[in-house]
Structure 1
Amino acid sequence: MPYVLCQRHGTHAAPLLCSHLCNAVTNREPLPEAFCVEAWYHAYPLGVRYLCPGCAQIMGVATNRTVWRDEDAMDRLTDLRDLGTVCPRCFDEAQQSETL
């Protein structure tokens, strides 16, 4: 798991976001809905990614908090491109407010 050093919140394990969400958080812009995608292989978690509505549509994600548990979960998770990291506390703040 990647880590970030935030000037406001310190060092944290960082979530992986599509570039659109990452840019919105970094630039303190209004955040669109964030679709959470979680992938599992057998009984093991592979990871969680957050996608904007456009990236979610491209990946076929129709509902928030989508969980992939099939044989193709790892392949679909690694197909997600242009991911970035942000401070999880900044991401939480952005999700809780209309504007930062």
Structure 2
Amino acid sequence: MLIFAAILILKYEPSYSRSTGLAMLNCAKELGSERAERLTMEGSGTFAKEDVCFRDEMVECTANDVFAEVSIAIKQETGESYACALRFLTHLLSL
């Protein structure tokens, strides 16, 4: 129940409630919850792995729906790298 409440706070409450959701999730991790650990690293698991992770020699993109975060690392600054990152973002937003 603690993890469920933390996810709801992180996903749907205003940004000033984020610290409360993070504190609840950290408490669950300290109590030894493997699910809480997985949520912080991989997200909720609602989306397929190939939808939230993309990696090739030019760009690395990951998304975590629990924290509403997207991480993009451009390894080679080329037009194709930025195009890959934009394709990842547009695909993610279309889900």
* TM-score tier (shorter): under 0.3
* TM-score (normalised: structure 1): 0.25
